[in-house]
Structure 1
């Protein structure tokens, strides 16, 4: 069992308080403004959702999870989180949150391990990694009607780009009805992140930097997006997960992604000396 490690930091560890916290993310001025409707009549392939503390990026997450809540329920949610410790791999253990247990799709995980020799069951990659964990309470919240049916493939990515492309091809060819959840933020700006490509008009420049990156995602331009990230040295921690998902999405005939919400931590705190871009998108 993988127990929560950032509850009480990134989100509340109390069951009732956590529910209220997520509810407030939906109704926040940065959120979609209302709660999801109960009808599951949309069809999506995946989402991009940020993974900072809920007080900062939770309202942006809510935009993506409103799409999840109102879409057809998949067999498996593949959660792609970036690695903050250099480790990579899936986890065969179930995850625990204040809302309860989220079951891992062991069969799918074992298929990944069998077919992609660079993927291993790696407990250390998940031990103190928050990128998968912070998505789960939102997923549980919007899946109250199907809580016992949720299955996830928790995958932390620290692989090189060639392996990322192989992963995308495999996910695009798999027989499961999957939804991919990309857990990651956009540009990390400021001295604290070692990335200061501009010092004036920071808010505008940060918006322009991320919005250009997002335009490549919307067009499903894999090479254009990756070239842009490398050209700018952009600190987009979700970049490799986005590459894998765009490749996989094309295998399912998905032709576009749509931006739902974008803002920065500076818009929340008023401090742009060190700021992170938060974006929610849906692949449909």
Structure 2
């Protein structure tokens, strides 16, 4: 197979394009997460985390709360299965890239071809670079992963229209053991007034914590991945804990965010 690299699409937009600036910003977010006194690290390695995918100035700190929990296990994690919603194209089922590597300002990440081959045998899975070309929901998680882990392979899965059960079955094919981390990329509600968003997102977070598999796209843009994960948590008898919540309105003072139309962000860990 010829080597092909998927270049970053949103470096300089959602996060810094300069590697030194990016590393400094990531360190700052992680330091803030570490300093949060209520963050307690489980004695069990996290099997999955749920993190948001907006611009770092809005959701970077919330994401850091999730990535904080994987740092101490960086020597064990050798593969990351990353799922996020397709924003730029309409997608039935899931899409894996043809590319052999994904690139960020921090370097290249090799694609897990063995895992991709397992999924590619399913009719619900498409192999195409087109859905991945401009997509941000997976890309914004990559610098955090590179910052927190040692060398690992990446299995990037864009998720479109698919029911919870078949998506959970696909996820189970690449579930793996302690060497595999599942990362679900999802924001919460979009473009509601600040107080209404907090109320709606609180309800959605409770559904996530209760392992409900009927979360809608109005509640979370990564709902199909979240619903599949909930079935997996029941199947594997795992526990989920919420780590953080805020919305874009919380950045209003620093970045001029509009509190009349906010986007919600939360992070969770599963072990």
Match status 1:165 vs 2:188: no
- Match of residue 2 from structure 1: 6
- Match of residue 136 from structure 1: 142
Distance across 2 between alignment mates of 1:282 and 1:120: 29
Q: SS state of the match for residue 126, structure 2?
A: coil
Structure 1 gaps of 5+ residues are 191-201
Structure 2 gaps of 5+ residues are none
How far the C-alpha of 1:15 sits from its partner, in A, is: 1.1
Distance across 2 between alignment mates of 1:266 and 1:188: 11
Match status 1:218 vs 2:209: yes
- Match of residue 124 from structure 1: 130
TM-score after normalising by structure 2 = 0.86
Farther-moved stretch of structure 1 (233-242 vs 262-271)? 233-242
How far the C-alpha of 1:203 sits from its partner, in A, is: 2.9
Distance across 1 between alignment mates of 2:45 and 2:13: 33
Residue deviations 1:215-274 (CA, integer Å, cap 9, x gap): 12112122xxx1xx44xx7241011110111122333221x2111000000011152111
- Match of residue 189 from structure 1: 191
Q: 1:78 aligns with which of 71, 76, 81?
A: 81
Farther-moved stretch of structure 1 (267-276 vs 93-102)? 267-276
Q: 1:82 to 1:175 in 2, by over 3 A?
A: closer
Match status 1:283 vs 2:270: yes
Distance across 2 between alignment mates of 1:41 and 1:249: 18
Distance across 2 between alignment mates of 1:205 and 1:261: 18
Q: 1:40 to 1:218 in 2, by over 3 A?
A: closer
> What is the number of equivalent residue pairs in this alignment?
253
Residue deviations 1:40-79 (CA, integer Å, cap 9, x gap): 9631111111101111100011000001213363342110
In terms of fraction of residues, the more helix-rich structure is 1
Q: 1:174 to 1:134 in 2, by over 3 A?
A: closer
Match status 1:103 vs 2:110: yes
Stretches of 4+ moved more than 3 A in 1? 39-42
Residue deviations 1:80-127 (CA, integer Å, cap 9, x gap): 01000213401142101111111110110010011x211021100100
- Match of residue 232 from structure 2: 248
Q: 1:258 aligns with which of 199, 216, 241?
A: 241
Farther-moved stretch of structure 1 (126-135 vs 64-73)? 64-73
How far the C-alpha of 1:174 sits from its partner, in A, is: 4.6
The 8 Å contact of residues 92 and 109 in structure 1, kept in 2 or not, is answered as: no
